[in-house]
Amino acid sequence: MGASTWGETQEEASKNIREVLAVMLEEFLEEGKDIAAQGIVATEGAVITIT
């Protein structure tokens, strides 16, 4: 599972990512998934990810 979001300001982007993470965690719990095994990483600031 993956997710991304953005905002016009850093504050808006931070608020949006907290909402996305809350939804993701809720889904993991509902599905009985081990949250620690999901490799969730949350950062603040500029991030570049290459997969």
DSSP state of 19: H
pLDDT surpasses 70 at 40: no
Say how far apart CA 46 and CA 42 lie, in whole Å: 12
Q: Do residues 14 and 44 touch, judged by C-beta distance below 8 A?
A: yes
Q: Do residues 38 and 27 touch, judged by C-beta distance below 8 A?
A: no
pLDDT of residue 9: 85
Please report which residue ranges of the chain form alpha helices under DSSP H: 10-30
Average pLDDT, the chain: 77
Number of structural domains in the chain: 1
Domain span at residue 31?
1-51
3-state secondary structure of 6: coil
pLDDT of residue 46: 61
Give the angle subtended at the CA of 40 by the CAs of 1 and 3, to the nearest 5°.
40
Would you place residue 42 in the very low, low, confident or very high pLDDT band (cuts 50, 70, 90)?
A: low
What whole-number percentage of the chain has pLDDT above 70?
Answer: 67
For 24-51, what is the mean pLDDT?
A: 71
